[in-house]
């Protein structure tokens, strides 16, 4: 296990959106290919900010916004990045209908905001990050150990 992974399991504090993006870029470098990345956290915890950092790390130039209206967006870079916001999905029922699996091209990363909406759709080997806001308004990013 890498040093970064160990630190992440303990929880890393981020003091700005830029810091979160930079951390995401470092995590993107150690994230296994073809992995689902579940981003747990409340409104404004920094899930989309994190995905933006991943996109930069993989050379994706397009602007990354929360895909609330289109549910998900596919970006092509050094890795294919699929960004899903499951907020409005009901308990995984309509995930199959999105046919995301049909679009995956290795090496891919499937980043999911509001993964608790689709618990049954996430594989066992998904990486789960928990984003929270501390009392001093810094943000905390923690990796659930597999």
Ligand X SMILES: Nc1ncnc2c1ncn2[C@@H]1O[C@H](COP(=O)(O)OP(=O)(O)OP(=O)(O)O)[C@@H](O)[C@H]1O
Instruction: Summarize as ranges the residues that interact with ligand X (CB under 6 A).
Output: 14-17, 19-20, 41, 43-49, 66, 113, 139
Min. distance of Cβ 106 from ligand X in angstroms? 26
Hey, which residues between 61 and 80 contact Mg ion (CB under 5 A)? 66
Longest dimension (CA), the chain: 43
Min. distance of Cβ 68 from Mg ion in angstroms? 8
Q: Which is nearer to ligand X, 43 or 99 (CB)?
A: 43
How would you classify residue 99: left for phi > 0, otherwise alpha for psi between -120 and 50, otherwise beta? Answer: left
CA distances from 42 to 45, 46, 143, 146 (A): 5, 8, 16, 22
Min. distance of Cβ 102 from ligand X in angstroms? 25
Min. distance of Cβ 114 from ligand X in angstroms? 7
103 to 122: interface string for Mg ion, x by CB under 5 A = ----------x---------
* Per-position b or e across 63-89, b if 16+ CB within 10 A of its CB: ebeebeeebbbbbebebbbbbbbbeeb
How would you classify residue 54: left for phi > 0, otherwise alpha for psi between -120 and 50, otherwise beta? Answer: alpha
Q: Which of 47, 79, 117, 139 binds Mg ion (CB under 5 A)?
A: 47
Q: Give contact residues for Mg ion (rule: CB under 5 A).
A: 47-48, 66, 113
């Amino acid at each position: 296990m890498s040093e970064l992974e160990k630190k992440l399991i303990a929880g890393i504090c981020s003091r700005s959106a830029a810091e979160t993006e930079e951390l995401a870029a470092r995590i993107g470098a150690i994230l296994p290919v073809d992995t689902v990345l579940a981003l747990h956290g409340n409104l404004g915890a920094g899930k989309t900010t994190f995905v933006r950092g991943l996109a930069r790390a993989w050379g994706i130039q397009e602007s990354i916004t929360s895909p609330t209206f289109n549910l998900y967006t596919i970006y092509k870079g050094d890795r294919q990045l699929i960004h899903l916001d499951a907020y409005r999905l009901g308990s995984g029922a309509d995930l199959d209908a999105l046919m995301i699996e049909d679009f995956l091209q290795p090496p891919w990363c499937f980043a999911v905001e509001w993964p608790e909406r689709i618990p049954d759709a996430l594989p066992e080997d998904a990486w789960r990050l928990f984003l929270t806001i501390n009392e001093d308004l810094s943000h905390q990013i923690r990796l659930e150990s597999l």
